[in-house]
Amino acid sequence: MKEYDASVGRVRQTLKQLDGKQPGDPARAAQAIIQVVAAENPPLRLALGSMALDHVRATFEAEEKELEIWAHLSATTDFPTVRQQAMQ
The string of pLDDT tens digits covering residues 23-59 is 889 999 999 999 999 999 999 999 999 999 999 999 9
Residue 29's closest CA among 42, 52, 48, 56?
Answer: 48
The angle formed by the CA atoms of residues 57, 63 and 64, to the nearest 5 degrees, is: 90
Residue 84 has pLDDT above 70, yes or no: no
Whether the model pTM is above 0.75? no
Q: How far is it, in rounded angstroms, from Cα 86 to Cα 50?
A: 40
d(CA 36, CA 47): 11
Distance, in Å, from the CA atom of 81 to the CA atom of 40, rounded to the nearest integer, reads 40
pLDDT of the residue at 62 = 98
Query: What would the pLDDT profile of 53-82 be if each residue is shown by its tens digit?
Result: 999 999 999 999 999 999 999 999 988 876
Which residues are CB-neighbours of 43 under 8 A, at least 6 positions away? 36
CA 40 – CA 23 distance, rounded (Å): 29
Q: Which one is predicted more confidently, 13 or 88?
A: 13
User: Residue 81 CA to chain centroid, in angstroms?
Assistant: 37
